[in-house]
Amino acid sequence: MSLREVMLADLECGLAIVRDGYEVVPAWRILTPENDFLILTPFDPDKPEKRQRMLGLMPRFMAWKLATGFVLTAETRLGLDSGEKAVLAIGVTHHERLGVIRRICRTPSLAFGPPNWLPSDALDDAYVRLLPSGAIAVTALEAKMLATVFGEDGELPARLAGPGHRRSSPRPS
């Protein structure tokens, strides 16, 4: 699958969540040479320190798993003063940076706008910086901590993304 195909599949999962009447919890598909991992990262706006911690841990997890890229799917508000929302997928590899959104239209009934691909320069460089590049060392002590945090009962459980999801994500170019 190409990065675009993975992004559209994950975007469709987000749309299904909205169709079912729920808010999309930010979901990270971490692309590695052997498996894809799915990590859900709920945010509590009253605890910004937890969000910062998560944003510090994600690059370390990616370094530990030798990630080649990631796709982040979330629900977002369009504009500061707008009540308009969209489901968004951001894909980053060492060679690509893509974004796609679908607007949520709630009246007269729930519907979604067509996929709108964003130019790569419209994506914040902070997303690109989350993906480790070059040789990044993960110490044995740090690997143990990451195994706890991202373990089954951890703070941010990392699960294999879907049944039989070996090598479904894009290979680096």
| pLDDT for 106 | 84
Burial call 59-71: b when 16+ CB within 10 Å, e when fewer: bbbbbbbebbbbb
C-alpha atoms less than 13 angstroms from C-alpha of 161 in its C-beta half-sphere: 24
C-alpha atoms less than 13 angstroms from C-alpha of 103 in its C-beta half-sphere: 11
Strand partners, 118: 99
- Distance, in Å, from the CA atom of 43 to the CA atom of 39, rounded to the nearest integer, reads 13
Peptide bond connecting 48 to the previous residue in cis, omega within 30 degrees of 0: no
Which among 96, 126, 104, 87 has a CA at the least distance from the CA of 9? 87
> Is the Cβ–Cβ distance between 89 and 10 less than 8 Å?
yes
- Distance, in Å, from the CA atom of 109 to the CA atom of 125, rounded to the nearest integer, reads 36
Which among 17, 9, 11, 61 has a CA at the least distance from the CA of 169? 9
| pLDDT for 168 | 37
Pairing of strands 27-31, 36-40: antiparallel
| pLDDT for 69 | 96
Question: What is the chain's pLDDT, residue by residue, as a tens digit (173 residues)?
Answer: 899 999 999 999 999 999 999 999 999 999 999 899 999 998 887 888 888 999 999 999 999 999 999 999 999 988 777 778 999 999 999 999 999 999 999 888 899 999 999 988 899 999 999 998 877 889 999 999 999 999 999 999 999 986 434 333 343 43
